[in-house]
Amino acid sequence: MALTRVEVFNRYLDGGRIELDNNTVERAILPLTIMHKNPLFAGSDGGGLTWTTIATLLATRRLNDINPHAWLPQTLERIAQS
């Protein structure tokens, strides 16, 4: 098995830019996996739906590099008015 990966391993050794593990990816998805389980403990179906909605809004904000301190009050006001 290892002999079939010699070329890839040599690329890692020669280049120095490729990471041998995937810790960077695991750290990036950890908040998403944690938020995925949190609605299970919301207490009710409605609470889980509310939590999921807020988590989705926060994740979208992060993806678009929007300032959370300016964004959150505006968004909550708009939701309350609708």
pTM over 0.85: no
- Give me the mean pLDDT over the 75-79 stretch: 86
Tell me, what's the pLDDT at 26?
Answer: 72
pLDDT tens, 29-44? Answer: 676 666 666 666 667 8
Q: ∠ CA 46-40-26 to the nearest 5 degrees?
A: 130
Distances (CA, A) of 15 to 3, 4, 29: 19, 19, 26
> Of 47, 48, 39, 75, which is closest to residue 60 (Cα–Cα)?
75
Tell me, what's the pLDDT at 37?
Answer: 65
